[in-house]
Amino acid sequence: MRPSHIEHIGIAVSNLEEAIRYYEQVLGLECYALEEVKDQKVRTAFFRVGETKIELLESTGADGAVGKFIEKRGQGVHHIAFAMDDTDKALKEAEAKGVQLIDKTSRKGAEGLDIGFLHPKSTFGVLTEFCSHK
Ligand code: CMX
């Protein structure tokens, strides 16, 4: 397995609109999509920076992954997502190499991507996501 590029960097923020203003007005990027992912209890905003995207994540439920992250660690980089050919295949390969998975099989994430997470305890403290278009 080898990722083709960093698909996106997920950043946990307390207030999506305030964070969008920073990325637009200071960095000059354009928010091209806003999406709520109910399953993950987040509202997201996307910006393109070359081939990579920035995904801002605002919690919509304190018991969700991002709600708990902000409560415990504050705002900041939440995960790194690698673009793979096939998320399910990559998850299986990582598991075979002894990595602890959060998702055994892919699920649907923002932008209709097939996504799956590796546990940060197994990846040197960085929550790692694989994603692909099937
Ligand atoms: N990055 C690094 N470490 C993290 C982390 C993150 N994003 N989130 C939690 N952790 C650490 C915690 O600090 C904790 O470490 P310690 O034991 O040293 O304190 C450990 O992982 C376990 O954390 P926890 O709070 O007990 O467990 P959670 O119930 O919060 O679960 C995790 C953590 C990673 C399994 C969970 O957040 C998860 O399943 N994440 C995947 C899904 C997700 O993140 N969805 C949101 C984004 C969706 C999208 O991009 O659309």
All domains of the chain in start order, with CATH? 5-132 (3.10.180.10)
> In 3-state terms, what secondary structure has residue 102?
coil
Is the pLDDT confidence value at 111 over 90?
A: no
Average pLDDT over residues 13-38: 97
Chain segment 34-90, per-residue pLDDT in tens: 999 888 899 999 999 999 999 999 999 989 999 999 999 999 999 999 999 999 999
Four-CA torsion 56, 53, 87, 99, nearest 10 degrees? -70
Task: Quote the Cα angle for 39-31-4, to 5°.
Answer: 70
Residue 39: predicted pLDDT: 85
Residue 109: predicted pLDDT: 86
| Residue whose CA is at the smallest distance from ligand 1 atom 42 | 65
pTM value?
A: 0.95
Residue 112: predicted pLDDT: 87
The rounded Å distance from CA 93 to ligand 1 centre is: 22
Judge whether 43 and 35 are in contact, CB under 8 Å: yes
| Residue whose CA is at the smallest distance from ligand 1 atom 33 | 65
Is the pLDDT confidence value at 134 over 80?
A: no
For CA atoms 25, 29, 33, 34, give the dihedral sign.
negative
Residue owning tokens 């055994």: 104
Q: Which is the closest atom of ligand 1 to the Cα of 102?
A: 39
CA distances from 123 to 22, 23, 27 (A): 30, 28, 30
Query: Which of 16, 69, 128, 131 best tests ligand 1's pocket when mutated (most atoms within 8 Å of CB)?
Result: 69
Q: Is the CB of 12 under 6 A from ligand 1?
A: no
For CA atoms 24, 112, 82, 125, give the dihedral sign.
positive
Please give the residue that has the higher pLDDT: either 12 or 112.
12
Structure tokens at 108: 């649907």
Chain segment 99-110, per-residue pLDDT in tens: 999 999 999 888
Q: Is the CB of 3 under 6 A from ligand 1?
A: no
